[in-house]
Amino acid sequence: MRTFEPSDTLKRLPEQFFARLAKQVQDLAAEGHDLINLGQGNPDLPTPEHIVSELQEAAENPLYHKYSPFTGHLFLKEAIAAFYKQEYDVDVDPETEVAVLFGAKTGLVEISECLLNPGDLALLPDPGYPDYMSGIALANARTSFMPLLEENRFLPDYKSINENTLDEAKLLFLNYPNNPTSAVADVSFFDQTVALGKKHDICVVHDFAYGAIGFDGEKPRSFLQSEGAKDVGVEMYTLSKTYNMAGWRVGFAVGNPSVIKSLNLIQDHRYVSLFGAVQQAAAKALTGDQSAVRDLVETYEHRRNVLIPALNDIGWKVPESKGTFFAWLPVPEGYTSEAFAELLLDRAHVVTAPGNGFGECGEGYLRVGLLASEERLLEAVRRIDDLKLFD
């Protein structure tokens, strides 16, 4: 069979770090082992019933059996604007400041292609969501990493970045509440970010995927709540986490009109927007009853409050998560992230994500998801305790 050589663009794409872990998990599961998978980022609970019902009803509408408007239905963009006003008191123009996305991941990849030329520089958090790198590779651009360190509350220290690097940079990626560290950002940090973007003419991209998930009564802050934020960037939001709609592939970007225009343009060449019934259901999710969201956050907080004290009780001293549905756990002394993750997988059949898969500064940590029942979380702790690693 003839083999056709992939393009240089595809060759530039970063290796999927977690592919090997997924293969190990599949092999153990095929052998019949009872695995507790805390390594994934896939919500384990279903989409709320009222959203599913809206989709079922909307799917019968013949209007949606035709091509959707390329930039999305206006009613969805109006719902997005209403959501931002209700949740964050941020005014958004639905026609010029909203781009409908096939999930936020799509926009996070596309924005590098929209704004970066070959050789241009983007600033990335380390550790961070690996797919930021994908768009930069497709754009044939360069990266400079901003360490997220515990002593800085896992926020980048802008003062430590070389001025020449800041002057070169065209894009800056942020993500709070943060995957993988579960850290949160405050108004002071976002105000600093706006000032940095203005001074150095950097477009800020705030990945707000976990925007609904904050703990201890603290509501995560939108980047767009800072004065002047729309002048320097955009925020990307997904319905995947807030409404357990990961498989629906619907998200959006809001903010700077010129960036929104570029995102709409690239999508105009790639897609014919989302199925209209999905858009109608998404609008219902954003503007309808939000009690299911509150219940979901409460569920994650309860799970956190079960897992973290139980780990501390067996001698694994770990901090509490501040947001997201993850916990960021320091590995015991003497182990690398990968070695400890493999130990837990092989001997306890507990799946975790090694921190170095999110960047060099993730070394020394594991990411675990609060994406299993409290009973399964406690079972995972019991299995780990049986290994007597913390005696």
Q: Which amino acid is at 217?
A: G
Half-sphere exposure (Cβ direction) of 300: Cα atoms closer than 13 Å? 31
| 115-147 burial: b if 16+ Cβ within 10 Å, else e | bbeeebbbbbbbbbbbbbbbbbbbbbbebbbbb
Angstrom distance (rounded) from CA 44 to CA 381? 19
What domains lie within the chain, and their CATH numbers?
Answer: 8-47+291-386 (3.90.1150.10), 49-287 (3.40.640.10)
- Between helix 374-386 and helix 291-313 the angle, nearest 10°, is 20
| 79-105 burial: b if 16+ Cβ within 10 Å, else e | bbbebbeebbebebebeebbbbbbbbb
Under 8 Å between Cβ of 47 and 243: yes
Angstrom distance (rounded) from CA 127 to CA 364? 11
**pLDDT tens digit at each of 391 positions of the chain:** 989 999 999 999 887 777 777 787 888 888 888 899 999 888 999 999 999 999 999 999 999 999 999 999 999 999 999 999 999 999 999 999 999 999 999 999 999 999 999 999 999 999 999 999 999 999 999 999 999 999 999 999 999 999 999 999 999 999 999 999 999 999 999 999 999 999 999 999 999 999 999 999 999 999 999 999 999 999 999 999 999 999 999 999 999 999 999 999 999 999 888 999 999 999 999 999 999 999 999 999 999 999 999 999 999 999 999 999 999 999 999 999 999 999 999 999 999 999 999 999 999 999 999 999 999 999 999 999 999 998 7
